[in-house]
Amino acid sequence: MKDGNTPTNSMDVRTALATRRSVRDFTADALPDGLADTILADALNAPSWGNVQPYRVAVASGDVAKAISADYHALFSAGMAFRRASPLRKLRMFLSGVRGPDGDHTTIMTYPPELDARYKDTGKGLYGVLGIGRDDKAARVQQTARNFDFFGAPTVLFVFASDALGAYGPLDAGAFIQSVALAAHARGVGTCAQAALATWASPVRSRFDVPDGYKLICGMAMGYASDAPVNSFAPARRSVENVKLPLKD
């Protein structure tokens, strides 16, 4: 089961689409050598604008992943402390070098009501499965912090998209990311896309040689799902009718 390189590990597309879910608790088992590359090779079949494949990916595991994780935790803790600080303390922190997120894209935004409702519903469902109460801010922060140890995954990907194609670089990166998720799933490997990791870019940029014009768009934890209840979370989907645009009168 753990050897995802065997050709018997496959799944039809409809089953893969219907059964892939984000994994937010991984076992400590490392991926077999070469499996992450095999999954990436599958995913490189994704379509892209003019077939330019405008993305690069940093793959981290072992000590490199641990060091990146430590940097994210430090940045997240400093960010949380900054948010809680008094104005005077904020000034002192700023003068001592504490800065806001250094991501290539912003991950902190307010949603229009239509999106906000679905975002909140999904969050409510996730925290429900985790047994975290509405007002338990500490537990919510702790769960957010789990993003920064990649939910225990042994491997983490950081996807960079070219900014030379306007919206189409990130769009192509999205098709690639979903292809990685499905290719991994077909081989028994779990993933979780993590925009939280794009909040800061310095932990990855300081360790990988990123070409000019590429921006960190999303991280992705990769490994084997544990049997923790959080991995059974399957948030609701919109109906086709709800997504389809009506004709004008």
Ligand X SMILES: Cc1cc2nc3c(=O)[nH]c(=O)nc-3n(C[C@H](O)[C@H](O)[C@H](O)COP(=O)(O)O)c2cc1C
Whether residue 156 contacts residue 218, with contact meaning beta carbons closer than 8 Å, is answered with no
Among 46, 196, 201, 230, binds ligand X (CB under 6 A): 196
Comparing CB distances to ligand X, the nearer of 30 and 195 is 195
Among 40, 59, 165, 195, binds ligand X (CB under 6 A): 195
Q: Which stretch binds ligand X (CB under 6 A): 37-45, 55-63, 190-198, 238-246?
A: 190-198
Q: Which two tokens stand for residue 178?
A: 């979903």
Provide, rounded to whole angstroms, the least separation between the CB of residue 189 and ligand X: 14
Q: In this structure, what are the phi and psi dihedrals at residue 3, rounded to the nearest 5 degrees? A: -90, 85
Question: Rounded distance, CA 3 to CA 111, Å?
Answer: 41
Question: Rounded distance, CA 197 to CA 72, Å?
Answer: 8
Comparing CB distances to ligand X, the nearer of 93 and 139 is 139
Question: Rounded distance, CA 230 to CA 185, Å?
Answer: 17
* Residues 200-219 interacting with ligand X (rule: CB under 6 A): 218
Measure CA 186 to chain center: 19
Comparing CB distances to ligand X, the nearer of 34 and 229 is 229
Among 11, 16, 21, 202, binds ligand X (CB under 6 A): 21
One character per residue 123-162, x = contact with ligand X (rule: CB under 6 A): ------------------------x---------------
Provide, rounded to whole angstroms, the least separation between the CB of residue 246 and ligand X: 25
Provide, rounded to whole angstroms, the least separation between the CB of residue 177 and ligand X: 7
What angle is formed at CA 223 by the lines to CA 2 and CA 106, rounded to 5 degrees? 160
Question: Rounded distance, CA 41 to CA 37, Å?
Answer: 6
One character per residue 56-85, x = contact with ligand X (rule: CB under 6 A): ------------------------------
Comparing CB distances to ligand X, the nearer of 77 and 232 is 232
Question: Rounded distance, CA 6 to CA 22, Å?
Answer: 23
- Return the beta strands (E) in 12-154 as ranges: 55-61
Integer angstrom CA distances of residue 4 from 27, 36, 39, 143, 249? 15, 9, 9, 29, 52
- Residue 194 binds ligand X (CB under 6 A): yes
Provide, rounded to whole angstroms, the least separation between the CB of residue 125 and ligand X: 9
Signed CA dihedral, 165, 147, 122, 40: sign only: positive
- Residue 122 binds ligand X (CB under 6 A): yes
Question: Rounded distance, CA 47 to CA 85, Å?
Answer: 47
- Residue 179 binds ligand X (CB under 6 A): no
Binding residues (CB under 6 A) for ligand X: these are: 21-22, 24, 122, 147, 192-196, 218, 235
